[in-house]
């Protein structure tokens, strides 16, 4: 048996695709291994949202060659599509596959395994505009929850983003095929599925035409699936409709947890970003969620230091978020990417200012998360448990994304248990007590 190790950078979508590609290598005799297990093959699934992700890819290649100098190293993912020539020049890289080609790895790989591939092309990547195929993917055995890809690509030309360049046009699986995958996953004993995609609310485009909607997918899952619970990874505020919010509020299977990208709380900056909403719509969406799901957890993506974001406009964002009924923030310092609209926007924000703004929002996020957790003390929740790094304990997430810690019980791993929340520990986690059935 040959060993393959995957190193996945970036989003949940990449994790789903890495897992599926790993399974496709099994008929070739590959078994999944850890990075340090001297694998014969390393597959590095890259992200290119920020410059740091690019740098990390190069570092991982160096580390792979230290672990096994005779290994084959393959690079896939967004960075591989955007800068294939740059990656192919990295010492130690044997093969670079673009977005079209990464799912063809089992077919393309064999010549590169014999260490006599000096005359073979390192780079196999076609233009992204031809990438209209949809490849279903899901993760299993990596985490307690499964990430199920239902949509890929994006038709939104946000000023800062390279994703449309790396993944192509919006396209989706069909409702019927998604339901089939859900039952395939259910047979593996999975208790929770996270629906993921690049722009998940845009689900339903097949061969360039809209034939279904995300709301139809959600309705079908509620009616026909056997999995206990579902989570929506992230959805744009302009695609989170009132109809969908009301439906999710009465759902038995979809949990009250939303991750809604904001990016800026300043309308002026939102226009520079080419976002498809203003902050008033965002307020409306948060208010609508809290009306039907008072204990819902709401996470927010924010970019700081976008070109044109003056100190005054950043303070608009800070004050907007401070007054909003949200639960936590994911904060990203703006990173300039080639071939995006933002490259030409002035003035630029220097690194020191971006770091200071990021720090302010991280502190605000900690405050928001703690306030949300404290609001849940004394309540009950349904928690899906997994093992903890701390001996004698296990932890898991409630339906509304509260991280709960309880004493370890091996019989309750990968099960959903009713828990009463007690209080927060020093790490800001919720301590709980599992209730008897």
pLDDT score, position 78: 86
Question: Cα torsion at 175, 178, 183, 185 (round to 10°)?
Answer: -160
pLDDT score, position 207: 85
Kindly write down the DSSP assignment for every residue of 383-402, as one continuous string: EEEEE-SSTTEEEEEETT--
Q: What is the pLDDT of residues 25-84, one digit of tens each?
A: 999 999 999 999 999 999 999 887 666 766 788 889 999 999 999 899 999 988 888 888
pLDDT score, position 414: 87
pLDDT score, position 405: 95
Sort strands 229-232 and 257-263 into parallel, antiparallel or unpaired: unpaired
How many CA within 13 A on the CB side of residue 294? Answer: 3
Beta bridge partners of 396: 385, 404
Nearest alpha-carbon partner for 173 in 219, 139, 230, 134: 134
Low-confidence ranges of the chain (pLDDT < 50): none
- DSSP helix/strand/coil, 71: coil
Would you call 230 exposed, middle or buried from its count of C-beta atoms within 10 A (0-12, 13-18, 19+)?
buried
Kindly write down the DSSP assignment for every residue of 323-336, as one continuous string: TS---EEEEEE---
- DSSP helix/strand/coil, 77: strand
| Cβ-proximal residues to 27 (8 Å cutoff; 6+ apart), any chain | 106
Peptide bond into 399 cis (omega under 30): no
Cα-atom radius of gyration of the chain, to the nearest Å? Answer: 22
Nearest alpha-carbon partner for 162 in 83, 276, 45, 267: 83
Q: What is the pLDDT of residues 412-425, one digit of tens each?
A: 988 999 999 999 99
How many CA within 13 A on the CB side of residue 331? Answer: 23
Residue 167 structure tokens? 């993944």
- DSSP helix/strand/coil, 3: strand
pTM: 0.90
pLDDT score, position 89: 86
State the Cα–Cα distance between residues 414 and 229, nearest whole angstrom: 13
């Amino acid at each position: 048996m040959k060993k393959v190790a995957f190193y996945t950078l970036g989003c949940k979508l990449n994790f789903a695709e890495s897992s599926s590609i790993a399974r496709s290598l099994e008929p070739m005799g590959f078994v999944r291994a850890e990075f340090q297990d001297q694998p014969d093959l390393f597959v590095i699934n890259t992200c290119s949202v920020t410059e740091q992700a690019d740098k990390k890819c190069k570092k991982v290649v160096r580390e792979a060659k230290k672990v096994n100098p005779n290994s084959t190293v393959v690079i896939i993912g967004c960075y591989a599509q955007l800068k294939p020539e740059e990656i192919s020049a990295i010492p130690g890289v044997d093969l670079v596959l673009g977005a079209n080609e990464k799912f063809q790895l089992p077919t393309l790989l064999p010549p590169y395994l014999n260490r006599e591939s000096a005359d073979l092309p390192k780079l196999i990547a076609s233009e992204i505009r031809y990438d209209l195929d949809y490849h279903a993917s899901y993760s299993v055995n990596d985490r307690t929850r499964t990430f199920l890809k239902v949509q890929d690509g994006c038709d939104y030309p946000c000023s800062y983003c390279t994703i449309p360049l790396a993944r192509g046009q919006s396209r989706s699986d069909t409702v019927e095929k998604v339901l089939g995958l859900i039952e395939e996953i259910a047979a593996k004993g999975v208790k929770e599925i996270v629906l993921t995609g690049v722009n998940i609310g845009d689900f339903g485009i097949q061969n360039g035409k809209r034939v279904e909607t995300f709301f139809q997918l959600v309705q079908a899952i509620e009616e026909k699936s056997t999995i206990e619970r579902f989570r929506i990874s992230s959805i744009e505020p302009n695609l989170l409709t009132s109809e969908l919010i009301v439906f999710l509020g009465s759902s038995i299977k979809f949990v009250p947890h939303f991750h809604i990208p904001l990016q800026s709380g300043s309308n002026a900056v939102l226009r520079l970003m080419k976002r498809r909403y203003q902050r008033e719509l965002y307020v409306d969406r948060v208010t609508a969620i809290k009306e039907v799901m008072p204990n819902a957890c709401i996470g927010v993506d924010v970019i700081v230091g976008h070109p044109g974001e003056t100190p005054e406009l950043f303070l608009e964002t800070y004050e907007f978020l401070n007054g909003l009924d949200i639960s936590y923030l994911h904060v990203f310092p703006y990173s300039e990417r080639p071939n995006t609209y933002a490259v030409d926007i002035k003035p630029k924000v220097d690194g020191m200012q971006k770091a200071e703004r990021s720090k302010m929002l991280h502190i605000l996020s900690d405050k928001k998360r703690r306030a949300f957790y404290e609001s849940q003390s004394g309540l009950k929740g349904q928690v899906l448990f997994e093992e903890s790094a701390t001996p004698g304990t296990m932890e898991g997430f409630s339906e509304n994304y509260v991280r709960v810690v309880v004493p370890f019980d091996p019989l309750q791993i990968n099960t959903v248990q009713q828990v009463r929340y007690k209080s927060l520990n020093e790490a800001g986690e919720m301590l709980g007590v599992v209730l008897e059935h």
